[in-house]
Structure 1
Amino acid sequence: MKFAVKENDIQAAAVESSKRRRLKYSPTAATNSDEVIPSLKMTGASVCFPMEKPGKPRGEDAHFISTKYQTIGVADGVGGWAKLGIDAGKYSRQLMMNSVRSLRRLPRCAGGVNPKRVLQHAYKRTTAQGSSTACIVTLSGDKLRAANVGDSGFLVIRNGGVVYRSPTQQRGFNCPYQLGIGKDNPSICDEIEFSVKSGDVVVAGTDGLFDNVGESEVVEIITKTCRDGDLNRQVSYLANIALYNSMDAYTEETPFSIASRKAGRPHKGGKRDDITVIIARIE
């Protein structure tokens, strides 16, 4: 199945992933299932839990997995636009849809996919109102390359520990950099290159994941669920932990509550939000 360019069709789950999983919530995934055989290969699975909001059944997150281009992406529409009657989820979905189109249309350089160029190309063609964070990660040879804007991001797990985590871009507490008309543009993105090895695990997500599950808990979950090699079980388990933590109003220690205290805005429990998680194994 080819990637559909219609707005409604971006809800279709990834072709390859859909053969391996049956997730109830995956409203914004898209992929290309052509086989690629690089020196290392990235195989991924994803899940998205939209937060229940009146008039926004699809939430404000979007993501994609492209097997052919060995690239994954996540985006989080900025919810503040709702005060103006604007659904920022339309922006994030269009941005990710245009990113997949850009993967197909842009010429590949010697180093493989250039994630910043993909983001620039997609940004120029995104016309929806609103704004969004964005993180695009690609594998070329033994190099993981990424372009990141805002507080979505990824981490790399190796031998039971985090060996890399993408930095967060924000102007202040809970105020991330964001792509959009009248907002930031891809020139301010963090460009990342990191050497990976077979057996590494990449965990990418929106802040709905990283605000509710700390690094050590992510590592523990990945380690506990990696024995059978079932990426679908791993990503479902991790996303459900994030969902549970987001609704826990009593725990003192979530990444969001810790950051809130540091910012002088005490907050108990997790943060209710859309939750998008991609887990990709390098092999």
Structure 2
Amino acid sequence: MAVPIFRALIPKSHPPLHSLCPTPSMVDENPKKRRSLFCSPSELNPVRSEVSISVGIHLIPHPNKVDKGGEDAFFISRHNGGLIAVADGVSGWAEENVDPSLFPQELMLNFSYLLEDEEVSINDPQILIGKAHAATTAIGSATVIVAMLERNGLMKIANVGDCGLRVIREGRTVFSTSPQEHSFDCPFQLSSEVVGQTYLDAMVSNVELMEGDVIVMGSDGLFDNVFDREIVSTISRYKEVSEAAKALANLAKTHSVDTNFDSPYALEARSKGFDVPKWKKVLGMKLTGMVENLMILL
């Protein structure tokens, strides 16, 4: 699961920053990771001038996938106002002897090549997804979310599948994306196959940010296991976005293995008619969210 977190800041000059395809070494050397995006600010006034972002990341791969850093990938850039993206590889490809991490990694790499593209330069995340997908040759599929920040404070978002984003302002969630699913546990996804979703299926949103807004972005591993109220309370306890990202990742991991915790995933599953076997109910056990990987960006 990936969780990126970033914060909207008053304009200052920053050196270019590009990060993609998380690996254990990247996580250790740089407090940037995937599966959730976090931004936390100080004062909350409408952004009138150029803005920038402060980003932190934390990654917790599945124990069986540590050697390759998990199956999620991310990309961060301060190009123009800033761009943050998360892609979640679909684990089912492993049954076909295909490495699920390759497709999302190449997709994110293609993002970096397209930053200067004329259509993408006008801050159109949907076009970016389409062109990066068309250029991806790896076998596999992935859900993806992209947030592009204009210097005037407008954030444009496009997502395909169940990666998500929350905007937190003054201790409240003021915006959240909605997952796209064919059915329960079967999200929309970009794929190497002819049959599948394209950039045209992306859900597109625009949000006007205020200075100090906190943006939490991540794959389903975060939102399946952590309620929005827990996200708000967790990030409120940390001044550093990297520490907040780590705390969210650890909380999601803890919830994912707690059979007594009624997670967002468990509640949704029951509403769709899915539940644990009766013998497990007798023991008080509940459904838990699936955490293939955990990545948080701040």
TM-score by length of 1: 0.82
1:94 alignment partner in structure 2: 106
- Find the aligned partners of 1:222 and 1:90 in 2 and give their Cα distance: 31
Matched, 1:185 2:198: yes
SS in 1 for 2:54: strand
1:258 alignment partner in structure 2: 267
- Find the aligned partners of 1:142 and 1:3 in 2 and give their Cα distance: 20
| Structure 1 gap ranges (5+) | 29-37
Which amino acid in the other structure matches residue 87 of structure 1? D
Which amino acid in the other structure matches residue 206 of structure 1? S
1:270 alignment partner in structure 2: 289
2:44 alignment partner in structure 1: none
Deviations 1:181-213 (A, max 9, x none): 222111110111111101110000011111111
TM superposition shift of 1:3: 5.5
| Residue-pair matches, total | 255
TM superposition shift of 1:10: 6.2
Identity of aligned residues (%): 29
- Find the aligned partners of 1:109 and 1:186 in 2 and give their Cα distance: 13
TM-score by length of 2: 0.78
Deviations 1:16-50 (A, max 9, x none): x92xx3x7xx589xxxxxxxxx6121211111211
Q: How does 1:58-97 map to 2 (within 5 A)?
A: 58-69=69-80, 70-97=82-109
Change (3 A) 1:260 1:115: same
Match of 1:115 among 121, 125, 137: 125
2:7 alignment partner in structure 1: none
Contact 1:208-1:275 within 8 A present in 2 as well: yes
Change (3 A) 1:27 1:167: closer
Q: Larger relative CO (CA 8 A, sep 6+): 1 or 2?
A: 2
Change (3 A) 1:43 1:108: farther
- Find the aligned partners of 1:238 and 1:10 in 2 and give their Cα distance: 18
TM superposition shift of 1:109: 6.8
Match of 2:255 among 225, 238, 245: 245
2:157 alignment partner in structure 1: 146
Which amino acid in the other structure matches residue 185 of structure 2? N
Across the aligned residues of Structure 1 and Structure 2, the Cα RMSD in angstroms comes to 2.6
Deviations 1:244-276 (A, max 9, x none): 11121222x111111111111114233232112
Matched, 1:200 2:209: no
- Find the aligned partners of 2:187 and 2:154 in 1 and give their Cα distance: 27
Contact 1:213-1:242 within 8 A present in 2 as well: yes
Contact 1:10-1:97 within 8 A present in 2 as well: no
Change (3 A) 1:102 1:13: farther
TM superposition shift of 1:108: 6.2
SS in 1 for 2:101: helix
Contact 1:134-1:152 within 8 A present in 2 as well: yes
TM superposition shift of 1:68: 3.0
| Structure 2 gap ranges (5+) | 1-15, 36-48, 277-285
